[in-house]
Structure 1
């Protein structure tokens, strides 16, 4: 019995079936054709844009951090400034034998426990209620002297602070010495206080400093703090300083060295750097003409990229980079990656052909083996 025609028909049918089902072969994600099919021009819901110099400029937006004028314009706090809760000791001399305050036969009066109330005031007999908080001991001395001068001739006043916590700030987060620190003359500014607390415990390139003052909270990159003296703000009582690592990240998928959610390691990150961060393109899989960056783009940026004025809300954008173009590597170097981006690299077309051929030759080898065994 001749089984060759039947065998040939079987293999032909098998080949046709594999060719039809080639799109179902294992792969790391969609191919270029499938991504392009999601374009608005093809009834999809994403704008597919080829990256050029205009696109790199329009999308080069990075998070702006820095302190407002309310923080910047605050003057340094003196280390001897009187504050609510402080306890003062006052000695008042009067240039008469029978003074207003002194006991009989004495010309000096000592007030040892004068506490500054929660509103910042103290009470001095014959001088009245006086605002002490915010003054230095010397400034308060002059105020009290002027008040008493109308009551007794040539009064002399000496003031010292005997107790009180003074102004403090709380330092926490990724810092080597978390704790509560007093504002003293050497550490009245933000950078000095960070140094006083032992410095940051994370790389400076990704360190973000947030200062909470009352109901306000503003942030600055540590690198900008050292490079821009205006950002080195004066501290205030009860400030909270939080040091934390940059939380931005992007996701790498497809034919790259690794597929993962990747945190930013620098303040700015280009598409080329992002690819390098995950180990580059897989040389036996990746299509260098199929590097895609997927993001939800704010309407104002999307309209600049697309040259439109009618968009509302975030837009789904698919940016296409071809590293084989004459300036493709430069464009990838200049194109900025932002928080939440997905960097996807498609597989080269020949990879799918190889997979399909393997699927074809695998069953063929199995069939030949079975035939050999049947003939024995």
Structure 2
């Protein structure tokens, strides 16, 4: 004897519900809060799980600082008129006689333009001989030439000009208005002045990094810090290489947020609250505000301070931000996100419950539709 159609429908519905609940195959954005805690060193995993508070923030929010070493900071400015090998000088010599040593007949001065300083730092001036120019100022070179010519012509007057040469130069490349090789001159002796000479930075000033390489030493600062901290506006040296680059740091946002993406830093520092806001905030239909996690590999020194015990090497650390705790939002606001962090927001238990209900409702609706069609066909 066959079962009545209504009883068959109820049976099928129960079977479908049991299959859904037993299979646990509902889609979700990632691990649950409980599953993350199972990864703790106190349970089955190898990660230290720490609830963020003021103490944790004071330790974990320390970020690598940019800056110049003392060798950069203590370097004095290159004299604006200091002559270097390879520089070009301009000489003008006046004589108070009608038949001078260097001045043509009928004139009172002769111009020796583009006198090149050789690799040894010397120049040659007729009747004055070979004169050391490198390391001296134009005024000192003027005095030397005057003294030597004074023995051969009465009261000579000499002018010495340092022209733009290829002796003291720096290279400026990267995100600037005009890349190139520039001479260190009176208006461009400091880093800020040279960057201005190169057309300024061509990226957002908030995330522009300036790197200076001098021999075997390299220093790096934020572009804004050159102006906010005068000490960072270092004096340049011959051969310096200046590179301007956009910040390449980023973090990953996953889980029940407005967007799941690899997110570049848009400022020098970013807090956990700002990171969540950057990707659209918490998903109001899914997110669990008690389950905001930050995954990070911490160096040994910081990890030991966090856990209060000796560890070896880099450690996996999971930071827990419970936004519902008293001061929870303040803790999240003070927690600094670092390059390479993963920010993950778990789904609320109610979200999974809703998915089960939705799945059951959809399944039962499909069963009832099939039963209804069968009853229509059989006339039941």
Q: Check whether TM > 0.5.
A: yes
Greater shift in the superposed pair: 261-270 or 186-195: 186-195
Q: Which has the higher mean CA deviation after the structures are superposed, 49-58 or 233-242?
A: 233-242
Question: In 1, are the aligned partners of 2:212 and 2:219 still within 8 Å (CA)?
Answer: yes
Query: Relative to structure 2, which stretch is displaced further, 365-374 or 325-334?
Result: 365-374
3-state SS of paired residue (1:230)? helix
**Aligned residue for 1:98?**
none
- Aligned residue in 1 for 2:175: 174
Rounded to whole Å, the distance in 1 between the matches of 2:199 and 2:90 is 35
15 and 214 in structure 1: CA distance in 2 versus 1, 3 angstrom threshold? same
Q: Which residue matches 2:38?
A: 37
Matched, 1:327 2:327: yes
User: What is the alpha-carbon distance in structure 1 between the residues aligned to residue 359 and residue 143 of structure 2?
Assistant: 95
Write the mapping of 1:1-376 to structure 2, written as runs, cut at 5 A: 1-3=2-4, 4-22=6-24, 24-88=25-89, 115-122=116-123, 131-142=132-143, 158=158, 160-161=160-161, 165-166=165-166, 167-309=168-310, 311-376=311-376
User: 1:330 Cα shift?
Assistant: 0.3
Matched residue count: 370
Higher alpha-carbon deviation: 197-206 or 40-49: 197-206
Pairwise CA distance, 1:264: 0.8
**Structure 1: gaps of 5 or more residues:** 96-100, 103-107
Q: Distance in 1 between matches of 2:288 and 2:155?
A: 89
CA distance in 2, matches of 1:280, 1:328: 16
1:210 and 1:242 in contact (8 A); partners too: yes
C-alpha distance 94-197 of structure 1, shift in aligned 2 (>3 A): closer
Q: How much has 1:87 moved relative to structure 2?
A: 4.1
Give SS of 2:358's match. helix
Is this contact kept in 2: 1:252–1:260, CA < 8 A? yes
Which secondary structure does the structure 2 equivalent of 1:40 belong to?
coil
- Alpha-carbon distance in structure 2 between the residues aligned to 1:274 and 1:173: 28
Distance 2:337 2:123 in 1: 58
CA distance in 1, matches of 2:227, 2:90: 41
| Alpha-carbon separation, structure 2, partners of 1:46 and 1:222 | 37
- Give the alignment's Cα RMSD to 1 decimal: 3.3
Normalised to the residue count of structure 2, the TM-score between the two structures is 0.85
Maintained 8 Å contact 1:90/1:157: no
Q: Is the Cα contact below 8 Å between 1:144 and 1:157 reproduced in 2?
A: no
How far off its partner does 1:119 sit? Answer: 3.6
- Counterpart-to-counterpart distance in 1, 2:319 and 2:154: 81
Match of 2:106 in 1: none
Q: Report the alpha carbon displacement of residue 216 of structure 1 after superposing the two structures with TM.
A: 2.6
1:367–1:114: structure 2 CA closer, same or farther, 3 Å change rule? closer
